[in-house]
A and B are shown apart, each in its own frame.
Chain A
Amino acid sequence: MFELNDAVIAWRQHLASRPDINNDDLDEFEDHLREEIADLQQAGLAPEEAFLVACRRLGDADALTGAFPTSDPVQRRGLRLRWLALGAVVMMALFAFMLLASRFTMGIPNIPHVEPPVLTTTRFIHAIFQIGLLAVGTLLVWRFLAGDQAARKIQNMGAASVAGIMAAVVLGGASLVLMVSYFLGGGPAMVMSSMPGLQTAPVIMYFKFWLPVLVLLSLPVLLLSVVWLMTRKKG
């Protein structure tokens, strides 16, 4: 026995397997299919016939997404951007681990009489916290880019603007993660003064030079990409 509702659900699930069709698209196509089926049934077709005719009229996934020669070349860019964003956040995760490792290699060892032995554990907790933060960030970026409006807005930008924003996100995000974990770790006061054993040249260099440089570097990049966005030509 043909079950119309099940057939439509199966049809929708089949389309949902396509990465270039999002939930909004599915809702739109399903609404179209159901309208067409209703009209065909009203014209006297049996449910199964109506379903088959409506499916054929609506066409396959390639037709619906325009994945044929005359299609829009930016159609699939949203998806690539999502992978790009994921890549950027994974890079940030690697960066967080690198920072953790660098604390050991940059002459910041566990000094028994200054640092409690728990500190190594604390460092790992910080690393896990950072990774968690990055995971949440990835999820947010992914959801944002999956949204139809946002994806289309980004698809309209030039590649240079997108690269600028990505750079700003990576640098800004990295410095944010750095600052958060830095202050969670006790802040500069603790690191710089209550640990006299840590007052080595590379440590001072790290906190007084490299950290501000990283933060300052991200600001003009962010500013540049904003200016870029405001002045870009609509294409």
Chain B
Amino acid sequence: MKLDLILRVATKVLVPFILLFALYVQFHGDYGPGGGFQAGVIAAAMVILYAITYGLEPAKRAVPPVIVETMIPLGVLIYTGVGVVTMLLGDNFLSYNALNRHDHVHAQELGILLVEIGVFVTVAGTMTAVFYVFAGRGR
């Protein structure tokens, strides 16, 4: 684990940019290709890259498994939560127009944003958690 100095430095340089790219894909999904699903996978790839070069334990310290495993149901909860909120506001399940009665374009954008965040949270959590269990079994 001493020979991979270049890998370690390169990983340290790359990790913030990968996260930035994931967030870009997440929030620019309205205008370009991308969305919660792809962004979640990229964010998980960042954690996996960190774990591969630095080992599983440092990665688990940086991104604790408890948080990752909480993210899995949390994303679905955000998604359905949006649906329940639109129901409470007197519209159908997941019809975002209820979120802003005055401007339905804003309502739609808000709804899509929230829902994509839900997808992101679930996907990133699931991928990272699955990697953690697989990588943790070997030892």
B and A form one assembly: no
Binding site for A on B (CB under 8 A): none
Binding site for B on A (CB under 8 A): none
